[in-house]
Structure 1
């Protein structure tokens, strides 16, 4: 997962609350950092996404494969 995919996934899942969660919610699984701090510390976006999902009770069915753009059709 790339950082841009992380952003799309967070926005799709949390809507208007996305940026507040990324900037303010402390994630125990990320060493008590926010998602933004974890990303800035170099933690892979996929790991941050999964920690955010755990902390906010996102169902497992919505955790995988999100954030990717649809492939272009020729």
Structure 2
């Protein structure tokens, strides 16, 4: 997964105006206490970050 696909999925799940805000502020234990943006900046693959987001938000399997 590329970063562009990650952000497209984030916007689909949370809306274009809220996705980046959520990714900057919501800390996930699954990402070692980092936000999605912090994890991406640290080099965590976008697919791994997306799966953490997907589980956290309890999104449907169709969005996995």
Q: Same fold (TM over 0.5)?
A: yes
More strand by share: 1
Q: Does 1:62 align with 2:50?
A: no
Structure of higher CA gyration radius: 1
Deviation of 1:22 (Å): 0.7
Indicate the structure whose relative CO is greater, using CA pairs within 8 Å and at least 6 residues apart. Answer: 1
Runs of 4+, deviation exceeding 4 Å: none
TM-score (norm 1): 0.79
Number of aligned residue pairs: 63
* Gaps in structure 1 of 5+ consecutive residues: 64-74
More helix by share: 2
Rounded Cα–Cα distance in structure 2 between residues aligned with 1:27 and 1:60: 20
